[in-house]
Amino acid sequence: MTYLSRMFFRLYAPATCVAASGAALASVGRSLGADAADAAESTLTLTSVAGYALLLLAAALVGLASLRLLRWKSGAVASCFVCGCLLQAERESRHGISRRCTGCGKIHARSGLIRAMR
- List residues near Zn ion by CB under 5 A: 80, 82-83, 85, 101, 103-104
Distance in Å, CB of 33 to Zn ion, minimum: 47
Smaller CB distance to Zn ion: residue 18 or 80? 80
Give the count of beta carbons closer than 10 Å to the beta carbon of residue 110. 10
Q: How far is the CB of 116 from Zn ion (least distance, A)?
A: 9
Residue number with CB closer to Zn ion (66 or 81): 81
Between 2 and 42, CB nearer to Zn ion: 2
- How would DSSP label each residue in 42-64? HHHHHHHHHHHHHHHHHHHHHHH
